[in-house]
DNA sequence: TAGATTCAGAAGTAT
DNA sequence: ACTTCTGAATCTAGT
C-alpha cells in the first residue's frame, strides 16, 4: 500500500505549520517595479514590501507577459464613459481601473430581433421587471439600481454573436446543449449578482433561475430540441446533471417547468392519446427505489390542497399518459432529483438524467391519509451508462470508509491537509500511486506573509463583505460587485478577481475568500487509461463552482530557465484558446499583474493531477489577494457529472518564449490541436 | 443547525 | 384559467 507513496511523502495529519514541508526558494533577482500612476497603489507598496514585478493593472507589461482571457470578450462594447457609479469608485482610488458598468453595455439601438423586457412580458400585465422593483426601493436610488432587463439585453446581444444554427431548434447536439446550459447559468448568475447588490426586500423571494429561464425561453432561436419526442434527446447524455428545472426545459429533456410528468399526444388512427415521455423523481412523493434500476413513481395530483382537503388522484393528464405508456410500452426518460451534497443550502438539488426506462406495472394505493394514489413501476433499460446507481455507490463510499470499493490505494492522500479527504484510486492497472511529492493545499510564496506590509486597500468588514456595501474596498476593486454567490460560485468572468487577503479584517468564511476556503467537492486522484493520473469528483459540480487552486512553489523565472521542462509547471503567462464566445462584462482593463509560474513538482495539491484537454470542463482564473499575492483558482466551465475527469487547457506559450517539449494530446476532442506543453 | 412551511413563480395544457 | 415532484426565505423545533 505504501510503495508508491512512502509514509514520509505525506505531511503528518494535523500539522499546522505547512511551511515545514516547504522547500523555500527565495526570489532575489526580480527587480521591483511599481505603479507609476499617481496616488492609489503607489502609496501602499514600498519597494521593500514586494519582491515581485508590479505593473499597473492597465499595463504596460514586461516582455513575455500578456493578458489572459479565458473567454472571448466582445470588443466593441468597451469604454463607455456614461457610468452611474464611476464617480464613487474613482473617488475611492484613482489607480483602480474603472469598471465597465453593465449599463454601458446597453444597446438601445439594437432592437432588431426581439429584445426582451418590453414586448411580451410587460404587455401581459406582469410588468414587474424593472418598474416595479424601482418603486419598491422608493426614492432611495441604490448605487446598483440596475435594470435587469438591460442586463439581459446586453447578454443576449452577445449571445446573438454565436454561430447558432437554426436546425438545432428541433434537433440539438452535444455542443448546442452544452453551450445553452452554460449561457443560461451565466445569465442566471449575472442576474443574481445584480439582485444581490440591491437591498433585500423582506418577504420577497428572488428567483434568478426563473428570470433567466423566462428570458431564454421567450427568446427565439435559443432553445434546442423543441419538438417533443419519445426516447433519447440529442445532445443529452445519460449521466448528465442539471441544477435547475429550467435547464431541462431549455434543452428539451423535460418540458414542464414544475410538473413531474411530461407527455405528448400520439396519433393512433383517428384518435390521439397521450404518452409519457419523461418524468422527474424528486423524492417529495413517496417514490421508492429498490435497487437503483427500478423506480416506483407516484402519479400527480391529489396532494394536500390549500383548503386542507385531500383528494384522490385522477386518471388524467400525466397519470393517464403513464397508463397509456404502460400499455404502449414506450420508453420514458427518467430524471432523478437528489440532494446537492456539496451545497451548504440543504434544499439545493441536482437532477441526474438516468436514461430510458419502461413502465412495467401500475396500481392504485391508499396513502397515509387514505386517498388513492397511482403507482407506476419503471425498469431501467439495459446497456446504458451508469448514472443514478453510480450516485448511489458514491453515497455508500462516503458513508462506509470506501473499503468496499476496489482499487482504493489511499482513502485520503492529503492526510487531512484539506478539509475534505481526497481518495487515491487505481482500478486499471497495478501502479501503486504517483511519484513522490509533498502535499500542501496552497501556493507557497518564497517570502513569509508577515513580512509584507498590509495593504491600505484591505477591508474591515467584520461580518464578511457584502455586495451592497459600496464602501468596502474589496467590493470596489471587483467593479462594485461581489464576485461569488453564497455557494462559492463565480458570478461573472473577469480577467482578474480581487479577493480579501491576510490584512483584511473579514472572517475566513467571507464570501470574498472563496478560493481560500478549501475544497468543497469530494475529489479523487485516479489512474486514467492512457494519460497517467487524473482528477475527478464524486460530487456533481455546478457551472462556475470553485474547485481548487493550483498549489506549488512560486518559481523565479528570471533565474530558472523558464522552468518549462518541469511537467508540473503552471505558467500563468500562457494564453488559452478561448473556450467559448462569452458575453462580456469582463473588464478589459484588468490584467494579470505580474508573471506567475508555479512548480508543483516537489509539492502541491490535487490541481497538479489535472490533465490537459482541448475541450476542457475547467478553467483557471487569476485571483489577487491583498494586491500582492496572485493565485490561480480553478472553476467549472459547465456542470460536471460525478466521476467525469476534470481537465483544463494548459494553454500556449507566448510567441518569442522558448517552447517546452510538446506532448501528444490524448484528449480526443473534435477540436484537439494535437499537442500540449 | 436542520427540518418544515410558506409563497410567488411561469410554461404548458386544457377549457 | 388552472395545474404543477420549484426554490428561496422564513419559521420552528430541537439540541
Q: What is the pLDDT of residue A124?
A: 32
Q: Which nucleotide is nearest to A279 if distance is taken from CA to C1'? A: C5
Q: Which is higher by pLDDT, A137 or A446?
A: A446
Between CA A566 and CA A660 the distance in angstroms is: 9
Between CA A576 and CA A70 the distance in angstroms is: 6
Q: Looking at strand B, which nucleotides approach a protein CB closer than 7 A?
A: 2-5, 7-14
Q: Looking at strand C, which nucleotides approach a protein CB closer than 7 A?
A: 3-10
Q: In degrees rounded to 5, what are phi and psi of residue A80?
A: -115, 120
The mean-pLDDT minimum among A155-169, A267-281, A340-354 falls in A155-169
A245 touches strand C (CB under 7 A): yes
Q: Which is higher by pLDDT, A27 or A152?
A: A152
Q: What is the pLDDT of residue A426?
A: 96
pLDDT of A1 above 90: no
Q: Which nucleotide is nearest to A121 if distance is taken from CA to C1'? A: B10
Residues A280-334 have pLDDT tens digits of 998 666 556 567 899 999 898 876 544 455 678 888 899 999 999 999 999 999 9
The mean-pLDDT minimum among A59-73, A363-377, A397-411, A648-662 falls in A59-73
A530 close to A555: Cβ distance less than 8 angstroms: no
Q: Which residues touch strand B (CB under 7 A)?
A: A 126, 128, 205, 207, 210-211, 213-214, 217-218, 228, 249, 255-258, 262-265, 274, 317, 346-347
Between CA A326 and CA A271 the distance in angstroms is: 18
Between CA A675 and CA A677 the distance in angstroms is: 7
Between CA A545 and CA A420 the distance in angstroms is: 16
Q: What is the pLDDT of residue A496?
A: 84
A236 close to A177: Cβ distance less than 8 angstroms: yes
Q: What is the pLDDT of residue A652?
A: 84
Q: Give helix A208-218 / helix A148-159 axis angle, nearest 10°.
A: 50
Output helix, strand, coil percentages for chain A, rounded to the nearest 5. 20, 20, 60
Task: Give residue A150's pLDDT band: very low, low, confident or very high (50, 70, 90).
Answer: confident
Between CA A347 and CA A584 the distance in angstroms is: 31
Q: What is the pLDDT of residue A160?
A: 55
Q: Which is higher by pLDDT, A547 or A445?
A: A547
Between CA A77 and CA A159 the distance in angstroms is: 13
Torsion-angle region of A661 (φ positive above 0: left; ψ -120 to 50: alpha; else: beta): beta
Average pLDDT over every residue of A16-31: 32
> Grid coordinates in use for A135?
418603486
Q: What is the pLDDT of residue A369?
A: 74
CA of A165 to C1' of C11 (A): 49
User: CB-based contacts of A644: which residues, under 8 Å, 6+ apart?
Assistant: A239, A536, A537, A617
Average pLDDT over every residue of A149-168: 69
Handedness of CA A234, A235, A237, A241 (dihedral sign): negative
Q: What is the pLDDT of residue A54?
A: 30
The mean-pLDDT minimum among A30-34, A340-344, A590-594, A599-603 falls in A30-34
Q: Say how many residues make up chain A.
A: 677
A464 touches strand C (CB under 7 A): no
- Which protein residue lies nearest to nucleotide B14, measured between its Cα and the C1' atom? A317
- Which protein residue lies nearest to nucleotide B3, measured between its Cα and the C1' atom? A346
> Which of A102-116, A249-263, A461-475 is predicted most confidently?
A249-263
Q: What is the pLDDT of residue A665?
A: 92
Q: What is the pLDDT of residue A164?
A: 58
Q: Which nucleotide is nearest to A218 if distance is taken from CA to C1'? A: B11
A129 touches strand C (CB under 7 A): no
Q: What is the pLDDT of residue A523?
A: 96
Task: Give residue A596's pLDDT band: very low, low, confident or very high (50, 70, 90).
Answer: confident
Residue found under cell 479527504: A421
Between CA A622 and CA A414 the distance in angstroms is: 24
Chain A residues 476 to 535 with C-beta below 7 Å from nucleic strand C = none
Residues A187-214 have pLDDT tens digits of 998 888 888 887 777 777 889 999 999 9
Using DSSP's 3-state secondary structure scheme, residue A251 falls into coil
Task: Give residue A26's pLDDT band: very low, low, confident or very high (50, 70, 90).
Answer: very low
A202 touches strand C (CB under 7 A): yes
Partners of A366 in beta bridges = A372
A321 close to A301: Cβ distance less than 8 angstroms: no
Q: Which nucleotide is nearest to A311 if distance is taken from CA to C1'? A: C3
Q: What is the pLDDT of residue A13?
A: 39
Q: What is the pLDDT of residue A92?
A: 31
* Average pLDDT across chain A, whole number: 74
Rounded to 10 degrees, what is the CA torsion of A128, A132, A137, A141?
A: 100
Residues A535-545 have pLDDT tens digits of 999 999 999 89
> Grid coordinates in use for A100?
465597465
Q: Which is higher by pLDDT, A55 or A247?
A: A247
Q: What is the pLDDT of residue A325?
A: 94
Q: Which nucleotide is nearest to A297 if distance is taken from CA to C1'? A: C5
Give, in degrees to the nearest 5, the angle at Cα A626 between A621 and A627: 75
Q: What is the pLDDT of residue A448?
A: 58
- Which protein residue lies nearest to nucleotide B2, measured between its Cα and the C1' atom? A346
A484 close to A464: Cβ distance less than 8 angstroms: no
Query: Percent of chain A having pLDDT more than 70?
Result: 68
Q: What is the pLDDT of residue A403?
A: 66
Task: Give residue A345's pLDDT band: very low, low, confident or very high (50, 70, 90).
Answer: confident
A502 close to A544: Cβ distance less than 8 angstroms: no
Distances from the Cα of A332 to the Cα of A286, A325, A386, A623, angstroms? 19, 8, 17, 45
Q: What is the pLDDT of residue A228?
A: 93
Average pLDDT over every residue of A266-283: 85
Using DSSP's 3-state secondary structure scheme, residue A271 falls into strand
A196 touches strand C (CB under 7 A): no
Three-state SS annotation for A561-621: CCCCCCCCEEECCCECCCCCECCCCCCCCCCCCCCCEEECCCEECHHHHCEECCCCCEEEE
Task: Give residue A141's pLDDT band: very low, low, confident or very high (50, 70, 90).
Answer: very low
> Grid coordinates in use for A386?
451508469
Between CA A529 and CA A518 the distance in angstroms is: 29
Chain A residues 3 to 62 with C-beta below 7 Å from nucleic strand C = none
The HSE-up count of residue A559 (CA atoms within 13 Å, CB side) is 10
Q: What is the pLDDT of residue A453?
A: 56
User: CB-based contacts of A672: which residues, under 8 Å, 6+ apart?
Assistant: A614, A615, A665
Distances from the Cα of A289 to the Cα of A321, A334, A348, angstroms? 21, 12, 21
A309 touches strand C (CB under 7 A): no
pLDDT of A336 above 80: yes
Q: What is the pLDDT of residue A204?
A: 79
Average pLDDT over every residue of A629-653: 93
pLDDT of A81 above 70: no
Q: Which nucleotide is nearest to A282 if distance is taken from CA to C1'? A: C5
Query: Percent of chain A having pLDDT more than 90?
Result: 35
Between CA A99 and CA A79 the distance in angstroms is: 9
Strand A603-604 to A618-625 pairing: unpaired
pLDDT of A418 above 60: yes
Q: What is the pLDDT of residue A587?
A: 40
> Which of A146-155, A399-408, A436-445, A490-499 is predicted most confidently?
A436-445
A378 touches strand C (CB under 7 A): no
Q: What is the pLDDT of residue A564?
A: 52
What does pTM read for this prediction? 0.78
A206 touches strand C (CB under 7 A): yes
Q: Which is higher by pLDDT, A94 or A669?
A: A669
pLDDT of A107 above 50: no
Task: Give residue A123's pLDDT band: very low, low, confident or very high (50, 70, 90).
Answer: very low
> Grid coordinates in use for A532?
497517467
pLDDT of A673 above 80: yes
Q: What is the pLDDT of residue A561?
A: 55
pLDDT of A382 above 70: yes
> Grid coordinates in use for A5?
507513496
> Grid coordinates in use for A517?
476556503
Residue found under cell 518559481: A555
Task: Give residue A7's pLDDT band: very low, low, confident or very high (50, 70, 90).
Answer: very low
Q: What is the pLDDT of residue A291?
A: 76
pLDDT of A79 above 50: no
Amino acid at each position: 500500500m505504501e510503495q508508491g507513496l512512502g509514509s514520509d511523502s505525506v505531511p503528518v495529519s494535523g500539522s499546522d505549520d505547512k511551511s515545514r514541508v516547504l522547500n523555500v526558494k527565495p526570489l532575489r533577482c526580480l527587480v521591483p517595479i511599481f505603479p507609476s500612476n499617481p496616488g492609489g497603489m503607489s502609496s501602499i507598496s514600498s519597494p521593500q514590501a514586494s519582491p515581485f514585478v508590479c505593473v499597473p493593472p492597465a499595463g504596460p507589461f514586461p516582455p513575455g507577459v500578456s493578458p489572459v482571457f479565458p473567454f472571448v470578450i466582445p470588443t466593441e462594447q468597451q469604454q463607455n464613459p456614461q457610468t452611474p457609479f464611476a464617480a464613487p469608485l474613482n473617488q475611492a482610488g484613482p489607480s483602480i481601473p474603472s469598471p465597465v458598468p453593465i449599463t454601458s453595455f446597453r444597446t438601445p439601438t439594437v432592437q432588431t430581433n426581439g429584445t426582451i423586457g418590453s414586448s411580451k412580458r410587460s404587455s401581459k400585465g406582469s410588468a414587474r421587471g424593472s418598474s416595479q422593483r424601482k418603486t419598491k426601493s422608493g426614492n432611495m436610488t441604490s448605487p446598483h439600481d440596475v435594470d435587469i432587463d438591460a442586463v439581459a439585453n446586453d447578454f443576449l446581444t452577445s449571445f446573438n454573436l454565436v454561430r447558432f444554427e437554426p436546425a438545432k431548434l428541433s434537433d440539438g447536439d452535444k455542443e448546442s446543449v452544452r453551450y445553452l446550459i452554460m449561457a443560461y447559468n451565466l445569465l442566471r448568475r449575472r442576474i443574481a449578482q445584480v439582485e444581490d447588490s440591491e437591498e433585500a426586500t423582506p418577504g420577497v423571494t428572488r428567483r434568478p433561475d426563473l428570470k433567466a429561464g423566462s428570458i431564454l425561453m421567450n427568446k427565439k432561436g435559443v432553445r434546442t430540441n423543441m419538438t417533443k419526442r419519445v426516447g433519447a434527446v440529442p445532445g443529452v447524455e445519460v449521466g448528465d446533471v442539471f441544477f435547475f428545472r429550467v435547464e431541462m426545459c431549455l434543452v428539451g429533456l423535460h418540458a414542464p417547468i414544475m410538473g413531474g410528468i411530461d407527455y405528448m399526444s400520439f396519433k393512433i388512427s383517428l384518435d390521439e392519446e397521450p404518452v409519457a415521455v419523461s418524468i422527474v423523481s424528486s423524492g417529495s412523493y413517496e417514490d421508492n427505489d429498490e435497487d437503483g434500476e427500478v423506480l416506483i413513481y407516484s402519479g400527480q395530483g391529489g396532494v394536500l390542497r390549500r383548503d386542507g382537503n385531500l383528494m384522490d388522484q385522477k386518471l388524467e393528464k400525466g397519470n393517464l399518459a403513464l397508463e397509456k405508456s404502460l400499455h404502449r410500452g414506450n420508453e420514458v426518460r427518467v430524471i432523478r432529483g437528489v440532494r446537492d451534497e456539496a451545497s451548504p443550502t440543504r434544499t439545493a438539488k441536482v437532477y441526474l438524467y438516468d436514461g430510458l426506462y419502461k413502465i412495467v406495472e401500475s396500481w392504485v394505493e391508499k396513502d397515509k391519509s387514505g386517498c388513492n394514489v397511482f403507482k407506476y413501476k419503471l425498469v431501467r433499460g439495459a446497456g446504458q451508462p451508469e448514472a443514478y446507481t453510480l450516485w448511489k455507490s458514491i453515497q455508500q463510499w462516503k458513508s462506509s470508509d470506501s473499503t468496499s470499493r476496489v482499487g482504493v490505494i489511499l482513502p485520503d492522500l492529503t492526510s487531512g491537509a484539506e478539509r475534505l479527504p481526497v481518495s487515491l484510486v487505481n482500478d486499471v492497472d497495478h501502479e501503486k500511486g504517483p511519484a513522490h511529492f509533498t502535499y500542501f493545499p496552497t501556493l507557497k510564496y518564497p517570502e513569509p506573509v508577515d513580512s509584507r506590509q498590509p495593504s491600505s486597500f484591505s477591508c474591515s468588514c467584520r461580518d464578511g463583505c457584502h455586495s451592497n456595501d459600496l464602501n468596502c474596498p474589496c467590493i470596489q476593486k471587483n467593479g462594485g460587485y461581489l464576485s461569488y454567490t453564497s455557494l462559492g460560485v463565480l458570478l461573472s468572468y473577469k480577467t482578474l478577481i480581487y479577493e480579501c487577503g491576510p490584512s483584511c479584517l473579514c472572517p475566513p468564511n467571507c464570501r470574498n475568500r472563496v478560493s481560500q476556503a478549501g475544497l468543497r467537492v469530494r475529489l479523487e486522484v485516479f489512474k486514467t487509461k492512457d494519460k497517467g493520473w487524473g482528477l475527478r469528483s464524486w460530487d456533481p459540480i455546478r457551472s462556475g463552482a470553485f474547485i481548487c487552486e493550483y498549489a506549488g512553489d512560486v518559481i523565479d523565472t528570471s533565474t530558472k530557465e523558464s522552468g518549462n521542462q518541469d511537467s508540473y509547471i503552471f505558467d500563468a503567462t500562457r494564453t488559452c484558446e478561448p473556450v467559448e464566445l462569452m458575453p462580456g462584462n469582463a473588464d478589459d482593463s484588468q490584467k494579470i499583474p505580474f508573471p506567475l509560474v508555479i512548480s508543483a513538482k516537489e509539492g502541491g495539491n490535487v490541481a497538479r493531477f489535472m490533465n490537459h484537454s482541448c475541450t476542457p470542463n475547467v478553467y483557471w482564473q487569476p485571483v489577487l489577494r491583498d494586491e500582492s499575492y496572485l493565485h490561480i483558482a480553478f472553476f467549472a466551465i459547465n456542470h460536471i457529472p460525478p466521476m467525469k475527469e476534470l481537465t483544463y487547457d494548459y494553454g500556449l506559450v507566448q510567441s518569442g518564449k522558448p517552447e517546452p517539449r510538446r506532448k501528444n494530446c490524448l484528449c480526443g476532442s473534435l477540436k484537439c490541436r494535437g499537442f500540449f506543453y
